[in-house]
Structure 1
């Protein structure tokens, strides 16, 4: 994929996550045949451990992530180069600063009842969420039963939920696990593989 095509060299190149997430978003919009003016949201999860000042200790155990939503019109996502979608992904990630995180924490602290946040579903047509497990060490972990047969998400049942993870081959290739309505999967695969150069 050429997300950086036509960009000035002074601008930092898009990451694999930004590029692949933009591509997944485009393919989902195409597969769902969204109207051009339809607003579509993309939830990305940002690790905040190094965005806090001071950062969390290196031995911190647990998740320190915030989900943020990027939006655009489906027509722009599908008609413009993948760099457009990648730029929206980057903007969403870049807005998660120390100040943003503390504002988010304060917002949660001021809520009387946090249960309304536990089952928030941001996915579903026309939206998607893309989590990255690319750096999660999933392979070669022996729980006493020998080499793993499968390492990945156990269940994905929400339309638009997706995870990018490293393959077990060790060659840098990635796997995209995505849940879409059955009527959209063949089209998604066609657009996904057809759009990779």
Structure 2
């Protein structure tokens, strides 16, 4: 199955958004070294009216993008590193635009299950641009619209994490969707103002023990290639299964856990065991928490920069592997209490004071991210909500083996789990997920049927 590239258009704002060239500073959350990566993902749109001739999605999306780039013009700029310290900053010039690739595939989306099970093949990689984050000049956004024979299409996005997080990107895509509907205006005006809203205090000060989970290493990259082949594993977790898991943990602890806490602890345990991490070695559960309403004052609704801070939970590998799952889930729950205005300000100030020293994470980081509430379902260009959202990035939160919680295909409470794991550890991981050791607080194999594995 071959993707045929038809053209690449550079889409500028529909009218000049400013009078002269600009250089826009980024916030210290944007400049977190773990955000120096390209986020790549797909939105899959079905043609729900196959008997009608649908408009060409490339024309619809480029027109909507051009209009949206008037308020979201920074996406049309380019990221450059300052010579004196290597920090990224955004350069905006009149006439700049966002590259958008137009492509076609001569097959039906239904024949490949709308990419729902096509997560480890060459096709998905051909559906989104793959820019190099180490270039001297970096495009903050690149898109690809690939039309299938059925009239449906896939919108591939490659967005540099330094310019926004998932919530920020979705604000822009929702604005595009609103403009595509013919509304002529967007509901939420974007807000930049990053160096003021999330800038360091004067003087910068660190009152939270940030250094407990960070280290300094100028030459270390959190995304250095280990040389081992990592594969994707994808499985569906039914709502009943989740209810049973959370019910079991409640019986053991008297504590109610969210899906993220319970399922995250369950998977972290299976991953730690399957990778055979030495018991006295530290392993870290990492996730991001939205602080837009936590900081004082809260960020404006239209703030579209990185508005999340990382939370790290370091534990001994033997504790994760051996203690009841509810205790690990409780560590995740309690870690959320760190998310205060002081934690955010201390994290920002820590970056300000120590960035030049090479602030990075410790090893053995397992990154977990929940994409179920990012607003993907509201991005409707006229074809309805996307029927699938497929992340392709492997670099997240200092982890090269991230785990994504995605909306289930059936909707409701189902969770689709997509994780990356060392190829050698996958057989043991599957066995751990199906373990019968109920005395250790694991679920029985019957609760996670082999048929759920893809």
Q: Shorter-chain-normalised TM-score: which range?
A: 0.7 to 0.9
Q: Call closer, same or farther: CA 1:193–1:134 in 2, change over 3 Å.
A: farther
Aligned length: 189
Name the structure 1 match of 2:417. Answer: 176
Aligned-pair CA distance for 1:55? 1.9
Q: Deviations over 1:65-124 (max 9, x none)?
A: 11121111111112121111111112222112111111111222335649x45xx5666x
Aligned-pair CA distance for 1:141? 3.4
Name the structure 2 match of 1:5. Answer: 251
Aligned-pair CA distance for 1:131? 1.1
Q: Call closer, same or farther: CA 1:149–1:121 in 2, change over 3 Å.
A: farther
Matched, 1:66 2:309: yes
Does the CA contact (< 8 Å) of 2:387 and 2:409 recur in 1?
no
Name the structure 1 match of 2:429. Answer: 188
Name the structure 1 match of 2:321. Answer: 78
Does the CA contact (< 8 Å) of 1:139 and 1:148 recur in 2?
yes
Does the CA contact (< 8 Å) of 1:122 and 1:129 recur in 2?
no
* Separation in structure 1 between the aligned mates of residue 434 and residue 298 of structure 2, nearest angstrom: 39
Q: Call closer, same or farther: CA 1:66–1:55 in 2, change over 3 Å.
A: same
* Separation in structure 2 between the aligned mates of residue 172 and residue 44 of structure 1, nearest angstrom: 21
Name the structure 1 match of 2:331. Answer: 88
* Separation in structure 2 between the aligned mates of residue 155 and residue 138 of structure 1, nearest angstrom: 17
Aligned-pair CA distance for 1:149? 5.8
Name the structure 2 match of 1:53. Answer: 296
* Separation in structure 1 between the aligned mates of residue 257 and residue 345 of structure 2, nearest angstrom: 27
**Cα RMSD for the two superposed structures:** 2.6
* Separation in structure 2 between the aligned mates of residue 171 and residue 122 of structure 1, nearest angstrom: 37
* Separation in structure 2 between the aligned mates of residue 45 and residue 32 of structure 1, nearest angstrom: 24
Name the structure 2 match of 1:137. Answer: 375
TM-score, normalised to structure 1, is 0.81
Does the CA contact (< 8 Å) of 2:284 and 2:314 recur in 1?
yes
Aligned-pair CA distance for 1:130? 0.6
- Name the SS for the 2:315 alignment partner: strand
* Separation in structure 1 between the aligned mates of residue 412 and residue 384 of structure 2, nearest angstrom: 22
Mind listing any 5+ residue stretches in structure 2 that lack a counterpart? 1-244, 436-441, 448-454
Mind listing any 5+ residue stretches in structure 1 that lack a counterpart? none
Larger Rg belongs to: 2
- Name the SS for the 1:165 alignment partner: strand
Aligned-pair CA distance for 1:7? 2.3
* Separation in structure 2 between the aligned mates of residue 97 and residue 147 of structure 1, nearest angstrom: 34
* Separation in structure 2 between the aligned mates of residue 147 and residue 48 of structure 1, nearest angstrom: 27
TM-score, normalised to structure 2, is 0.38
